[in-house]
């Protein structure tokens, strides 16, 4: 049975050499047939793989996320790594100010089979993730060395994006330091790396970086008090995607965090905890708060890896079926 599923959906080695067209078709299949047991089983089989480094890029509209993504793609390809981008489409957004309409469209070499770009609609909230986004991240992670998840940050959606990536990079632009005090408490605790974009525009970038460092030291104190195991110090990197400055430093910081995850915090542990949150989020997306009330989520973070999170897509499917059949789901 498992073999047949893998044949139909490609095993991980085959995924890495799949054509863009075949990969696109497979993603469409995930988006439209998420309720099939074979699809859920397939996705769960991919969860067990280490896979690539999932990098979240978030930040306000127009901050320079797409321009940065394009620059990162270039550098990642230069190292011979395969890279995929999942862009959460902000086109339906209601805000965006002066920069609306000044968005960078990601164009990549159609002949380079090792770069793959896909955009997808947001979930419940602007910039948030749909239940399909989690399935697509799972697939892309198995097929690429680096997966970039680009999504506009609205002060609400960053938390959702954080649950889908290994390393979250928050982008802020010069002058944004002034608005730090207005940022929702807790947001500064989400990213593992902060990029101050458009550093070519002048000394304001340095001031902004200093303001951010100040805000970070306050939030770091609060978070280490809560959880002494959190030892990562968030680097603040000034970059210019258009001039190419600071990008190597940024990549080093992103990879430094990945290394930290691997040797200190544990990637498996992080992902297992995240997958419990995915289950909750998928249920919320499809069944709203009523669905959540019916759900009994096992306490995730303290469970040994391997017991929790491994079969989240099949658990979601089982929940959906029971919920739709009107049977109150029992715990498990
Ligand atoms: N001077 C300068 N301008 C930049 C830089 N990076 C991006 N921009 C400009 O900022 C504007 C917005 O850039 P995008 O990359 O589209 O920003 P975004 O964050 O992806 O925007 P949304 O997807 O609309 O949220 C464009 O006009 C870019 O050319 C930079 O490093 N320096
Ligand atoms: Mg963009």
pLDDT in tens, 174-191: 987 666 665 666 788 899
What average pLDDT does this structure show over 180-206? 85
pLDDT tens-digit readout, 125-142: 777 888 889 999 999 999
Site to substitute for ligand 1 among 57, 62, 151, 198, most atoms within 8 A of C-beta: 62
**244 pLDDT exceeds 60?**
yes
SS3 category, 167: strand
Spatial neighbors of 324 by CB under 8 A, at least 6 apart, are none
| Distance of alpha carbon 172 from alpha carbon 179, whole angstroms | 10
Domains of the chain, by residue range, sit at 53-265, 266-325
- What pLDDT does 94 receive? 46
- When comparing pLDDT for 126 and 241, which is higher? 241
Note the ligand closest to the C-alpha atom of 64: 1
Spatial neighbors of 54 by CB under 8 A, at least 6 apart, are 137, 141, 147, 149, 164, 165, 166, 167
pLDDT tens-digit readout, 285-310: 888 888 878 776 554 444 443 334 46
**Residue 190 · residue 158 · CB < 8 Å:** yes
For residue 254, the CA-to-ligand 1 centroid distance in Å is 20
Whether 201 lines ligand 1, by a CB cut-off of 6 Å, is yes
- Nearest Cα to 148, choosing from 65, 55, 253, 75? 55
**96 pLDDT exceeds 50?**
no
As a residue count, the chain comes to 332
**pLDDT band at residue 192 using 50, 70 and 90 as cut-offs:** very high
- What pLDDT does 181 receive? 61
- What pLDDT does 328 receive? 54
For residue 324, the CA-to-ligand 2 centroid distance in Å is 37
Whether 63 lines ligand 1, by a CB cut-off of 6 Å, is yes
**pLDDT band at residue 330 using 50, 70 and 90 as cut-offs:** low
- Tell which CATH architecture fits domain 53-265: 3-Layer(aba) Sandwich (3.40)
- What pLDDT does 184 receive? 64
pLDDT tens-digit readout, 152-170: 887 778 888 999 999 999 9
Whether 242 lines ligand 1, by a CB cut-off of 6 Å, is yes
Spatial neighbors of 270 by CB under 8 A, at least 6 apart, are 166, 261
- What pLDDT does 179 receive? 66
- When comparing pLDDT for 100 and 88, which is higher? 88
What average pLDDT does this structure show over 34-63? 90
Lookup result for tokens 């809560």: 226
Give bridge partners of residue 55 from the DSSP assignment: 148, 167
Whether 108 lines ligand 1, by a CB cut-off of 6 Å, is no
Whether 60 lines ligand 1, by a CB cut-off of 6 Å, is no
Whether 61 lines ligand 1, by a CB cut-off of 6 Å, is yes
**pLDDT band at residue 148 using 50, 70 and 90 as cut-offs:** very high
**pLDDT band at residue 251 using 50, 70 and 90 as cut-offs:** very high
Spatial neighbors of 309 by CB under 8 A, at least 6 apart, are 47, 271, 272, 273, 274, 275, 276, 300
What average pLDDT does this structure show over 200-213? 91
**Which residue puts its alpha carbon closest to atom 3 of ligand 1?**
198
Q: What percent of the chain has pLDDT over 70?
A: 83
Tokens of 252: 């080093």
SS3 category, 185: coil
- When comparing pLDDT for 250 and 300, which is higher? 250
Cα 47–Cα 277–Cα 124 angle in degrees, nearest 5: 110
**Which residue puts its alpha carbon closest to atom 21 of ligand 1?**
62
**Which residue puts its alpha carbon closest to atom 27 of ligand 1?**
102
């Amino acid at each position: 049975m498992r073999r047949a599923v893998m044949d139909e959906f490609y095993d991980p080695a085959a995924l890495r050499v799949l054509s863009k067209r075949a990969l696109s078709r497979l993603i469409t299949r995930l988006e439209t047939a998420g309720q099939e047991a074979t699809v859920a089983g397939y996705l769960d089989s991919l969860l067990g793989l280490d896979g690539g480094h999932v990098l979240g890029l978030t930040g306000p509209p127009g901050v320079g996320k797409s321009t940065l993504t394009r620059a990162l793609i270039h550098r990642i390809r230069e190292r011979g790594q395969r890279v995929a981008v999942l862009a959460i489409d902000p086109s339906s957004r209601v805000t965006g100010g002066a920069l609306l309409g000044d968005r960078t469209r990601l164009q990549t070499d159609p002949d380079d089979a090792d770069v793959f770009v896909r955009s997808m609609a947001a979930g419940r909230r602007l910039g948030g993730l749909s239940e399909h986004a989690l399935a697509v991240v799972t697939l892309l992670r198995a097929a690429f060395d680096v997966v970039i998840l680009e999504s506009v940050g609205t002060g609400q959606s960053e938390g959702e994006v954080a649950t889908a990536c290994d390393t979250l990079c928050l982008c802020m632009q010069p002058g944004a330091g002034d608005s730090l005090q207005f940022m929702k408490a807790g947001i500064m605790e989400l990213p593992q790396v902060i990029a101050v974009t458009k550093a070519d525009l002048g000394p304001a970038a340095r001031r902004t970086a200093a303001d951010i460092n100040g805000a970070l030291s306050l939030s770091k104190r609060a978070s280490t008090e809560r959880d002494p195991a959190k030892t990562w110090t968030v680097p603040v990197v000034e970059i210019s995607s258009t001039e190419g400055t600071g990008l190597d430093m940024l990549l080093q910081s992103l990879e430094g965090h990945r290394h930290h995850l691997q040797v200190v915090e544990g990637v498996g542990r992080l992902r297992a905890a995240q997958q419990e949150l995915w289950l909750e989020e998928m249920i919320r997306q499809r069944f709203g708060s009523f669905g959540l009330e019916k759900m009994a989520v096992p306490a995730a973070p303290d469970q040994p890896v391997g017991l929790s999170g491994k079969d989240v897509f099949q658990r979601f499917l089982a929940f959906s079926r029971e919920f739709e059949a009107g049977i109150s789901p029992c715990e498990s």
